[in-house]
Structure formats: C-alpha cells, structure tokens
Copies of this chain bind each other. A is one copy, B any other.
Amino acid sequence: MAAGSLQHRRDLALGLGAELFYDTPLEIVRGEGVYLYDSDGRRFVDMYNNVPCVGHANPAIVSAMAEQQATINVHSRYLHEGIVTFAERLAGLHHDGIESVVFSCSGTEANEVAIQMARVVTGHRGLVCTDAAYHGNSELVGSLTCVARAPSEIGEIRGFPFPERYRPVVDGPSEEELCQAYLDRVAAAIESLKREGAGFAALIMCPIFANEGLPEIPANFMSRATDLVHREGGLVIADEVQSGYARTGRWWGYQTTGFRPDIIVTGKPMGNGLPLAATAASKDFVDTFRANTDYFNTFSSSPLQAAVGMAVLDEIERLDLLTNAADVGGRLTSELKERVSLHPAIGDVRSYGLFIGVEMIKNNVNREPDAVSANLLSNHLKDRGFLVSYAGKFNNVLKIRPPLVFSQDNADDFLGAFDECMGEMSG
C-alpha cells in the first residue's frame, strides 16, 4: 500500500516512465555489504549493482566522504594534492602510455570527453560502435544507442554487428573466418565514414560487450580490430564503465579480452555511489583535448571525488576483490554452465569474473531469444531474495553483476534459488 502510494507520487514527481525494476517494484531503504533491505525489513542479495563495488554502506567510504566534505570540497581551479595523487594512481593502473586523466561526473560525460578527444586528436569526426551498444544519454553519446535501434548509418556514426560465436554473422565458419568476418564489418563501417566525408575518429567498445550480452568473442578479434583501427588512422576508445575496476578479475576488461585501447573511460564503480568518472589517455592526447576545448567541469576533479575514489581503490586492494571476482565468479559460472544441459531454456552461460550472462532461449534448435523468460526469471529470483536483471541485444540475457564483495556463500544460496525457479518455470 505504502509502496503503491509512493509509486503514484513518483509518477508525478519524476514523470511517467522513470524506470523501475520488477513487476512489483521494491522500496529499498537500507543496504549493507552485498545486502539490500526493503521497507518491510526483507533482505535481498544484491546481484545487480556494480556501483557499490566495495559494498553498500561500506564504512571506509562513508568515512572518506564525510572527512573530505568536512575539510574541503571545491572546484579544481585551485591546486589540490589529493586530486593529483588520485589521477596519478588511476593512470598507473593502466599500461605505459596512459599518463593523464580528465575527471567528470558520469559515464556519459566521460564518453563525451573521450569522443571529443578522439575528434580533436585525429581531426576527423566519424565513430564506429556495435549494433547493440549503450554508452550514455547525451545527444552525442546517446546517438550511439540509436545506431543499435535503427540500421547502421546515422550521420557521423556507423554500427557493426557485435562479435559473437553464439549467433555468428556467417554460417558455420572456423573461428578464424568468423573473426575475419567481423573485422570486415568494422572495415566496411570505417570505409563508409571515409567515403561519406566524416572521416574516421574512433571505434568505441565495451571491452566485454556488456550491453550486447557478454558474447563469447572470436579469438583475437579485439587486438586485430585495434590494429585495423590504427592502420585506418583512428583511435580505440574502451568504455570500461561496466567492465573495469576488478569486475572481470583483472583491473580492466581490455586486459581480459586482450587489446590496448588509446582512450579509456571509467565510471560506475569508481566512487561507490558518488558521481565520479574519468577519461584516461596519453598526456599528448589529453593536452590536445584541453588545448582545443577549454574543458571545465564544476563538480569534477574535486577533493571529494579524489578522497572517495582513493578509498574505493584502497578497499578493492585491502579486500583482494580482484581475486574474489575471479574465484567466486569462476565457480558460479561453472555451476551455471552445468545447468545448460539440464534446461532447454538456458541457451548459453558466459562470463568474465563477477559478470555473468545467462542466455534464455525458446528452444535449442534455432536459439530464438526469450526475453519473456528472462524477465520472468528475474522476477521469480527477486521473490526468493536475489536481485538480478537482464540485458543483451534481445533483452534475453540474465545479467548477474553483484557488488565485488559477493561471496561464495552468496553464490551457493543463489544457485539453490536459481534451481527452484528453473524447476518452477519448466514445471
């Protein structure tokens, strides 16, 4: 009742269509570690939220936030040790050649910076992304999503079919042939941009194609695509908003899928809930960006962002969450893969560390995506106390992406609930 009334007030205050999870939405009032609690005191295991990566209400983050806000929090036109140290530490987590950082408040803003940077560095405007990409909500960054919705040519943007082995773009190929087929699509997109006059600035990709549904990528595609982009005079932007920060069991998704991006965008988990994002690149690229744009962002490069950002990195290291993501994610994936042969509705299980996709299908003959089942399963799991969602080009891939403090016990409990739900759905 209370939630019903709250939802009605919300429809007015935030407008109709402000997104809500689950057929019966949850009113979440408290969080702790991997757990969320609703207004009736019911506990849920959070298996969706990557933002609170070191745990909901993590006391070290609360302290860092409060102490900094009580000391100084002001814009970046004064010198401040903290923000420089944070930028140095963040750049140091990447490969040589990534030296400088532009901070911002959201993944959208950081992708705006990345694209503007690629454009001023190359002198060209054309962008290539996959046909199921999502990189943010500004007009520019949002137009990358539009390419996914409509066929592949919108002004200065070209889409290509995301690389995958489950529904390959050509029939029955070898892995090498399949890789080449996707590379050919990228090359055609670049060629189209050059032919139509936009020129080619950048290929932008999530290193694990999270929104595309975590596809199994044909071997060597990422490094060969990077080589192709460089030969064509463009830059590779890695959108690590979902794949970065220990999610895959390594610091960065690009380390897991094997390529070296020129510009790296990070966001969601950086501030454990504080708006914080960054665009990292060579000093040369960042200097060129700053010289051409006079970029300034009131709330970013702030002492508050730096203090909280440092505390998050400290917690990831102190709790050894890289190892946890690899170990717990790996074991949960193995268990789920065993379910593929037991349930015709499960077409595939794919994962990188603590990011797992379960592909729901109508049958195993033509692999027809089953978005209804994915939605139903997420609602059933919610009723049993486990919060997941779904993603993918067809909205049929169960999306399991818990805070990095998710434990093996949590995974075991989840598997019990998962088996019950699957039994119920097939019964």
Contacts and interface: CB of A to CB of B under 8 A. Distances in A.
Contacts of A142: 293
Contacts of A211: none
Given A15-B290, A91-B13, A106-B106, A69 B57 contact: yes
A108 B273 CA distance: 20
A204 to B, nearest CB: 14
B84 A109 contact: no
A51 interface: yes
Contact of A137 (B14, B31, B106, B293): B293
Contacts of A296: 19, 137
B28 A57 contact: no
Interface in A57-98: 57, 59, 61-62, 65-66, 69-81, 83-84, 87-88, 91
Contacts of A415: none
A152 to B, nearest CB: 20
B10 A79 contact: yes
Given A19-B76, A287-B15, A61 B57 contact: no
Interface stretch (A161-169, A221-229, A298-306): A298-306
SS of A interface (majority): mixed
Interface string A25-57: 111111100001000000000000101100011
A101 B10 CA distance: 10
Interface of A: 3, 6-7, 9-10, 12-21, 25-31, 36, 49, 51-52, 56-57, 59, 61-62, 65-66, 69-81, 83-84, 87-88, 91, 99-109, 112, 115-116, 137-140, 142, 267-268, 271, 273-275, 283, 286-287, 289-291, 293-302, 304
Q: Please provide the 9 A-B residue pairs with the shortest distance between their CB atoms, ordered closest to farther.
A: A15-B286, A17-B290, A13-B87, A66-B66, A275-B275, A275-B299, A73-B273, A27-B79, A105-B105
